[in-house]
Amino acid sequence: MYDKVLEALEAVRPTLVADGGDVELVEVTEQGVVRVRLQGACHGCPMSMMTLKNGIERIIKEHVPGVTMVEAV
């Protein structure tokens, strides 16, 4: 599952980089929780939770069966 999550993040990464941000995969738990670290302009951005849930989480869930949620650490 870890490798598939990395592939899904590569799909969303260009959009984040275009806005001065990035995302790092921290871990994927056995329960299907994906933990990521937002970086650059995304770290601390008021819109970061919307980006996380409506962008990153949506893409990962579409590409990786078994992912239950994505959270920032």
Collapse the DSSP code of 18 into the 3-class scheme (helix H, G, I; strand E, B; otherwise coil) and give the result: helix
Sorted by sequence, the CB contacts under 8 Å of residue 63 that are 6+ apart come out as: 4, 7, 8, 11
CA distance 44 to 38: 8
| pTM of the predicted protein model | 0.89
pLDDT in tens, the chain (73 residues): 999 999 999 999 998 899 899 999 999 999 999 999 999 888 878 888 888 888 899 999 999 999 999 999 9
Cα 35 to Cα 25, 27, 40: the distances in Å are: 6, 5, 17
The pairing of beta strand 21-28 with beta strand 33-40 = antiparallel
CATH of 2-72, one of 3.30.450.40, 3.30.300.130, 3.30.420.140, 3.40.190.10: 3.30.300.130
